[in-house]
Amino acid sequence: MRIVSVVGTRPQLIKAAALVPALRARHHDVFVDTGQHYDEAMAGAFFAELALPRPDHSLGVGGGSHAEQTARMLLALEPILVAERPDAVLVYGDTNSTLVGALAAAKLGIPVAHVEAGLRSFDRRMPEELNRVIADHLSCWLFAPTPAAVANLAAEGITSGVLQVGDLMQDLAARVAAEVRDAAALAAVASSLDLPLAPGGYAFATVHRAENREPSAMQAWAAILADAAAVRPVVLALHPGTRAALDAAGIALDPGVRVIAPQGYRTTLTLQLHAAAVLTDSGGVQREAGWLRTPCLILRDRTEWVEAVAESAGRIVVVGLDRRRAADEMARLAPADDALRLAAERAATMDLAPAGAAEAISVALSAAG
C-alpha cells in the first residue's frame, strides 16, 4: 500500500519513530512534515535522535492562529496528495496537522487512517478535542490505543474499521528504557544542562496547552510549581509559546523553578524517570510517567487517558489548578524524606514491555490493502 503519513509536532514524531520501521517493512511510506512545531528545539533534533527519515515533503507551516495555520497547511498539502496519489493518508493524534491530513484526504476521496483514535476529553473548548472528533468521523481505519477509546467511538456510532492496537508511545519508550534507567544517564543530563540533579532530588514539569496560557491559569500553575520548589527544585521544560505567554502577562516564576528548553526524547524520559514527581498538562508525558511509575500530577481538570489514571495505583492524579490539592498530593506521592529511595527503587526495578501497536497497525493496513 502507498501511504502518506502526516506529522507536525514532537509527540507525532515520537509516534512516527515507533511506527515508521514497521510501516516501511510492508508499505511504501511518503513522510510529510507540516512544520507545526517549527524550530530545532521543538522538533528538528528529534529526527536525528529517533532515527527518523527526513521528510519527503516539508510544508514549513508554523505559527499563526488556528485558522491561519490550518488554511496554510491545507493549501500546501492538497497538491502533494494529488501528486503522490496514495492509497491512504495516515494521521496521528489530535493536532492541527491531524485535522488537515484527514480533511485534505477526505476531500480528495483518499481513505484516512487515524492513530490514537477514540480519545475524548468531552470538552469542546479544547482545539485538540475538535481535531480528534473530526478526524475520527472522517477515518476508515481507527487505531484505538485503549478500551475506553473503542467505547467512545461506539458511543458516537463508529464501529467499522475500529481496532484496539495499544499505545505506540509505549513501544518507543520500551525500546529506549534500558538506556535511561541508570543514574549515570541522569548525571550526563545534569552535566549537559548544568543543573545539580540527583535521583529523587527534583521535580520535572511541562506546561503547553492553550488553556494553561491564560493569565489566570498561568498564575495558578506558577503558584503550584512554586509550592513544589519550596521542597525541591523544579525543572520546567518550557514550550516557547508558554514562555511567550508568561512574558506577555508579566508573570515571573519562582527562583526554585529552573527553566530549560524542550529536550530530546531520551533526555525527557531520563528526567521523568529519576524525578521525585512529574507535573504536566501533556497527554504524552502523563502516559510516560505512568509506564515509568513516576508520581504524576495532571495540571488539567480532566484527561483523555482515563486508563493511565485508573491503572496507576494512585500514582497519577488529576489536580487541575487546585493549589491545595496539588500540594497535598505532592506530599503524599513524593515525601521529602523518602523521595530518593523511591526514585532509586523505581529505576532499578523498571521493566517496560512494548505494546505491539506498531506491528498491529502495519499488519492491519496490509490486510486492508
What gap in Å lies between CA 97 and CA 58, rounded to an integer?
Answer: 12
Q: What is the mean pLDDT of residues 227-237?
A: 98
- Confidence band (pLDDT; 50, 70, 90) for 294? very high
Phi, psi of 217 (to 5 degrees): -65, -40
Regarding whether 266 and 211 lie in a shared domain, the answer is yes
Regarding whether 112 and 202 lie in a shared domain, the answer is no
Regarding whether 113 and 26 lie in a shared domain, the answer is yes
What gap in Å lies between CA 10 and CA 16, rounded to an integer?
Answer: 10
The CA-based angle 220-226-227, given to 5 degrees, is: 95
Residue in the structure block whose three cell numbers are 495532571: 298
Decide if 117 is inside a domain: yes
Tens digit of each residue's pLDDT (9 = 90 or more) over 20-40: 999 999 999 999 999 876 555
Q: Residue 53: its pLDDT value, please?
A: 86
Regarding whether 256 and 155 lie in a shared domain, the answer is no
Q: Residue 174: its pLDDT value, please?
A: 95
Tens digit of each residue's pLDDT (9 = 90 or more) over 337-353: 999 999 999 999 999 99
Q: What is the mean pLDDT of residues 131-156?
A: 98
Between 125 and 292, the higher pLDDT residue: 292
Regarding whether 244 and 127 lie in a shared domain, the answer is no
Decide if 176 is inside a domain: no
Task: Cell numbers for 69, please give them.
Answer: 495555520
Q: What is the DSSP letter of 92?
A: E
Regarding whether 120 and 38 lie in a shared domain, the answer is yes
What gap in Å lies between CA 335 and CA 218, rounded to an integer?
Answer: 26
The number of folded domains in the chain is: 2
Regarding whether 343 and 362 lie in a shared domain, the answer is no
Of 96, 99, 100, 94, nearest to 145 by C-alpha is 94
The alpha carbon of residue 287 and the mean position of all alpha carbons in its chain are separated, in whole angstroms, by 8
Regarding whether 153 and 115 lie in a shared domain, the answer is yes
**Residue 261 Cα distances to 26, 39, 61, 250, angstroms:** 37, 11, 21, 19
Q: Residue 54: its pLDDT value, please?
A: 87
Decide if 177 is inside a domain: no
Residue in the structure block whose three cell numbers are 498539502: 77
Catalytic hit among 57, 208, 239, 274: 208
What gap in Å lies between CA 59 and CA 324, rounded to an integer?
Answer: 45
Regarding whether 187 and 163 lie in a shared domain, the answer is no
Q: What is the CATH number of the domain that holds 122?
A: 3.40.50.2000
Regarding whether 55 and 71 lie in a shared domain, the answer is yes
Regarding whether 131 and 18 lie in a shared domain, the answer is yes
Q: What is the DSSP letter of 354?
A: P
Regarding whether 273 and 187 lie in a shared domain, the answer is yes
Decide if 305 is inside a domain: yes
Q: Residue 288: its pLDDT value, please?
A: 95
Domain that includes residue 14, residue range: 2-171+354-368
208 is catalytic: yes
Decide if 317 is inside a domain: yes
Q: Which helix (H) or strand (E) holds 272?
A: helix 265-273
